Structure formats: C-alpha cells, structure tokens
Amino acid sequence: MKFNKRLIAGLLSTLAINATMNAGEITLYTSQPQKQMVKVIKLFNEKYPDIKVNVYRDGTTKVLNKLQAEIAAGSPRPDVLMIADSVAMDSLKRQGVLQPYKDAPVKDFDPDQYDKDMYYFGTKLITTGIIYNTKAGVPAPKSWNDLLTKAAKNQVIMPSPLYSGAAVIHVGTLTEQPEFGWSYYEKLAKNGAVAGKGNGSVRNAVARGQKAYGIIIDYMAIGAKKKGSPVDFVFPKEGVTSINQPVAILKTAKNVKDARKFIDFQLSKDAQLQSVSQNYIPLMKSIKAPEAYGDLSKLKVMKADPKVVSKKIEENKKKFAKLFGGA
C-alpha cells in the first residue's frame, strides 16, 4: 500500500494547527457587563491575537452558582474568573478552587488591592453610592439617610444581593456599620423602597423617571449621565462601600499559560486606561480617575471585616429577601 506523502504532511500540519488553536483558548466567567467585555476582549486580542477567549457573563451570584454546580459535578469549565468582589474570591481561595500566580505584575498596585498570597488581583475600584433623577423635582441626596425621607417615599430602588455581587458587599458592609445595621434596611422597606435585579435595573428605572433615587455602582450612573440621561451620582457623606472586581485563575484551569497572560493584561497600563474609558476608577497608581468623579482625595470608603461579611452572605440574602422579596 502506497502512502501519499503530501497528504500525510498536510494532515500532520492541520493537526499541528488545531493543537495550537486549542492551546490558545481560554474560558472566562465574569460579571462585567457584556458590552464592556466585547471591548475588553478586543483590546486583549490586539496584544494576544492567537488566544481565543470564550466568555460566560451573568451577575456575580449566578456566575458563582454555575461555577459551584460545575465543581460539585467535577467539571469546572473556566480557566479565569473575574467577578465583583474579593470576599467571594477569598471564599473560593479557602475552598481550594483557585491557584496562585506569584509572578503577576503588581508592582504599580496598592497591596490592599490584591491577595497577599497572589491568588487574586483587583482590577478596578467600584463604589456604591446614590443616583438620582435631576428632573424629578426631589432634593439632591447628601446622605444615606436621605433615602428615608418623605421626598423619597416609594421613590427608591436598589439592586438585589440575590443577583448582584456588588449588592452583596454593599448590604454586608452597610449592615456592619453601627449607625446603620439592619434597622436601616427595615426603614427603607417601610418607606417603600424596592429591589430590582442588578444595577442596570436601578440605572434604567431612575434614568426613565420611574424612580427618583437609586442605590447603584458608580460607573453605571456616571455612564448614564455622560450619555445624556437626566441623572447625577452622589458619594454619601457617611461613606461608600466598594469592590475591586478581582481576577483569578482556577486550580483546574486547562490553559494556565494563557490564563496568566489574561491576568497580565488586566494589570497592564492599557487595560487600566481602558477601564477609565469605561467610567471605572483605575487601581494602577499612575493613572487618574475619570474627570466625572471629581476630587476623590476625600472619598470615604466604609470598612467591614471580609471574613464576617463572607460568613453572613446567605443570612443577609435571606433577611433582604424577607424585606424586599426575591427567590
């Protein structure tokens, strides 16, 4: 039997190309908005054109539920995870789900913004404050307590921690503050406040005038204002809660080499500048925040013990659902 040498060479070449393509493929699970992720992946591919990024995107809670179901089934799919908060990432670290990346390029970042053992890395600062409709004829808020006033009765909407990771942290942090606690949420409920789904539902309701006030992550409010919506964003005087959208590599990642390249990219100047263009506050020390945020030097960020917030997540969700509904 004679073999066609050219055919065999062609088949071997095709197999080699396919192997290279498989090696250059990663799966990312993220809670970052889809339209933003399209631009993020486009910029990433300008630097790493041979790496295909498969993206699954949903709210942080749903992303984590999907991941945990896959872990329980023994088949976690993502190589890289990028979600809303470090509390969830720290929980995954303790669960043994993540792997460290000791050589990640963090020299231009504050040590508070990444895990000391190098398991996960903050990519941007996102605060939660108050959005309000400037044409609704209501007073501009200055305090969290302004959402409890007569002017705010039946006029407040907030994201649900049953869907949003940022809301999980906001509820968990705010209820740990002595001046607020769960009594604050009880008062919100009594004043007619309602829960939407994610932060997008809050932005839309306030921008359309369906509600006068909303509790929301900063960049969504700033972005809506820049696009012409009659809204403004306020950092309450008592302080804001914050997350830093950390990114990490799973212990079960199939393509660690290229997953590390995605981490490198997220911690690069190009990616940090892109975050500014998407109305985020960058974490790289040398890059300035968007002008729309004003002077951030006096911004107060509320603190809470991450371990306490983590332990109370399910308890807080149940309390929230009892007050505002949801499954």
From first to last of its 327 residues, the chain has per-residue pLDDT tens of 444 545 444 444 433 334 334 459 999 999 999 999 999 999 999 999 999 999 999 988 899 999 999 999 999 999 999 998 888 999 999 999 999 999 999 999 999 999 999 999 999 999 999 999 999 999 999 999 999 999 999 999 999 999 998 999 999 999 999 999 999 999 999 999 999 999 999 999 999 999 999 999 999 999 999 999 999 999 999 999 999 999 999 999 999 999 999 999 999 999 999 999 999 999 998 999 999 898 898 899 999 988 899 899 999 999 999 999 875
Distance CA 124, CA 244 (A): 5
* Number of CB atoms found within 10 A of residue 3's CB: 7
* Number of CB atoms found within 10 A of residue 181's CB: 12
Of the candidates 270, 269, 293, 271, the residue with the CA atom closest to the CA atom of residue 281: 293
Domains identified in the chain and CATH numbers: 5-123+245-291 (3.40.190.10), 125-242+298-324 (3.40.190.10)
Tokens of 76: 């976690």
Tokens of 275: 């975050």
Asked whether the beta carbons of 120 and 266 are under 8 A apart, the reply is no
Residue 83, C-beta contacts closer than 8 angstroms, at least 6 positions apart? 29, 30, 31, 60, 63, 64, 89, 165, 245, 246
User: Do you know the residue count of the chain?
Assistant: 327
* pLDDT recorded at residue 327: 52
- CA torsion angle for 145, 149, 153, 155 (degrees, to 10)? -50
pTM: 0.82
Of the candidates 130, 126, 167, the residue with the CA atom closest to the CA atom of residue 148: 130
Give the β-pairing of 124-133 and 231-234: antiparallel
